[in-house]
Chains A and B, each alone.
Chain A
């Protein structure tokens, strides 16, 4: 399974943009890039996913490098509710990845008021 590398922790100020990086240098051409986050005392929550093009939804934006070896999750205006552990996960079409998310250690985001 392709691996991802994320910083252990990041800090941000409230109402400022946050850029959370993820390196995935061994990504294959058919791997999707998913982001989940886990707020304290809750189950993980889907944030966004993409394959090649940048993606936007109501929660965040996903910027994917042209060579696909890295991606960045962008929270446009961080709020205190965005303090969570953010996971960058690769999923591929092989049967070994069916229904399976492989979570790394993720990035713990602190948001300061």
Chain B
């Protein structure tokens, strides 16, 4: 079974631009979560989607948004990029959603650099 895939793997953008990152979950998985990883803040939860609905959201500004499609693929968008948005963005999928007792499977991440 193919793992979680994320595209693109690397991205360089300029401050003020917007960016869209894509995540394809493991086949059959309906929940997709997004995380941001920086050296200073570590791994932080952005949001989680299940059956095309956002069920949970982390403490990030409204410039960070996401959506999920009917095939469970998900995209996240960051508008008006700031230098501090430079990070590794990780996507994780799980079978039925909810991190209570189901493991999440992470993709390799998209490395975003904002200049």
Contacts and interface: CB of A to CB of B under 8 A. Distances in A.
Partners in one complex: yes
Contact of A49 (B55, B98, B103): B103
A100 B101 CA distance: 11
Contacts of B33: 99-101
A93 B50 CA distance: 16
Contact of B56 (A42, A87, A98): A98
Contact residues on B (Cβ < 8 Å of other chain), bracket: 20 to 34
B107 to A, nearest CB: 6
Contacts, number: 75
Contacts of A51: 101
Contact of A92 (B48, B92, B100): B100
Given A43-B109, A44-B90, A104-B42, A99 B103 contact: no
A83 B90 CA distance: 20
B97 interface: yes
Contacts of A96: 56
A105 B100 CA distance: 20
Nearest to B43: A103
Nearest to B3: A43
A45 interface: yes
A99 B99 contact: yes
Interface of A: 32, 34, 42-46, 49, 51, 87, 91-93, 95-105
Given A44-B92, A99-B56, A99-B97, 20 more contacts: A32-B100, A43-B4, A43-B92, A44-B90, A46-B103, A46-B105, A49-B101, A87-B43, A97-B56, A97-B98, A97-B100, A98-B48, A98-B56, A98-B99, A99-B50, A99-B99, A100-B58, A101-B104, A103-B35, A103-B43
